[in-house]
Amino acid sequence: MYNALIVKYGEIGIKGKNRYIFENKLIKNIKNMLKPLGKFDVYKEYGRVYVELGDYDYEEVMEEVKKVFGIVGVCPVIKLDRKSDDIEEAYQLLQETALKVLEEKIEQGCKSFKVESRRGDKSFRMTSQEMSIDIGGYLLSKTEGKIPVELRNPETKIKCELREHNVVAYSDTVPGYGGLPIGTNGKAMSLLSGGIDSPVASWMVAKRGVEVECIHFHTYPFTSEKSMEKVRDLARILAKYCGKVRLHKVNLLEIQKAVGVNCKEEAMTIISRRFMMRIAEEVGKLRRCDALVTGESIGQVASQTIQGLTCTNASVSMPVFRPLIAMDKTEIIDVAKTIGTFETSIIPEEDCCSVFAPKRPVTKPKLDRIEADEASLDVEGLIADAIEKMEVEIIEF
């Protein structure tokens, strides 16, 4: 029955003269999201974005479209071209189309309805409010008392639009994730571990229109190939929302060995973290990234106290985005479940932080002491060697 989708966007609508840039990017991202299903006609009309469904199942297409960042809602609609310039004929077509939508809602068990109308063709004799009253009366007469009108709190709203070239009727709106289209707000390098937090942080930054690349630190052979495959799986899930994910894989083993030999044991976690940030920054610069992204949250682990984060920040000059910084673990888990990363994240595998974790890590590190500890290390040489041996993989969903 439904032959098109209306794509509703939020913030894009207030972008003023730059709005067309965001709309065009949104259309491109929708087309890319739908490529695995087929080729779809996606276009702007009357300040809206439409997806023509052709012979495809609307529910399957809608499920993919709603994942595109920048979309706040997706509506399956019946959209029919006007057969002539006769506006009365077009209005009758709209009434008949609205009836089809309502009949489906009755079959689904809806107990009440109201009509909301938009008069896009201003030459029509009725106002939008008069259209709603008239179409409501028409629907009541055709459904023979099966469903009453309820203006204040209806179970369903039948939305009717009379346009210059077509008529549109629909009811449901499936919520999207909102945000801004990916590619409209620069690029960031995200530190991706195999845990719960970093995939969520990557997703949340991507939701704000940021193109995301990922860097993963491991200590092979102390961390297994299964651990790496887990990270690939997480990157693959992110690719559903972000498009292709470029995954940079860096072995931190030699750095952690050097830190273990030359630095105080309790400072090992913080110093290792500072090395990760420095490497991520250097790789980010090579990839023309504008910021780093981490999954840190205040107080969640020993290295994520305010003092620990201060020491970590001091190792880089690039801005560091921490979208989870004030979130509770339960809130982060809820997002992970929503986006589909949680079940993969909780698969038990070692990571580079846990393999060499000190028994009693420092929780309130002093920057001057950490820097003094690092003075015994060839910081630049260790970083250059790790980057030289880095492997890169392109992950697609």
The token pair that represents 149 in the structure block: 């009108």
> What token pair was written down for 48?
């809206």
Cβ burial of 3 (10 Å; 0-12, 13-18, 19+) is middle
Tokens of 204: 């949340």
Give the dihedral sign, CA 232/235/240/244.
negative
Task: Give the integer Cα–Cα distance in Å for 72 and 205.
Answer: 17
Q: Compute the C-alpha angle 349/279/195, nearest 5°.
A: 25
- Dmax (CA) for the chain in angstroms is 86
Where are the extended beta strands (E) located within the chain?
A: 4-9, 41-45, 48-52, 71-81, 113-119, 156-162, 166-170, 174-178, 187-191, 211-218, 245-251, 291-293, 320-321, 391-395
Q: Are strands 156-162 and 166-170 parallel, antiparallel or unpaired?
A: antiparallel
Q: Do residues 93 and 82 make contact, with C-beta atoms less than 8 angstroms apart?
A: yes
Judge contact between 217 and 231, C-beta under 8 A: no
Contact call for residues 172 and 101 (beta carbons, < 8 A): no
3-state DSSP call for residue 339? Answer: helix
Q: At what angle do helices 329-339 and 197-207 cross, to 10 degrees?
A: 70
Per DSSP, the three-state class of 198 is helix
Binding residues for ATP: 191-192, 216-217, 273, 295, 304
Residue ranges of the annotated binding site are: 191-192, 216-217, 273, 295, 304
Rounded Cα distance between 239 and 29, Å, is 12
Which DSSP string corresponds to 15-43?
-GGGHHHHHHHHHHHHHHHHTTT---EEE
Residue 7 carries which side chain, given as an amino acid letter? V
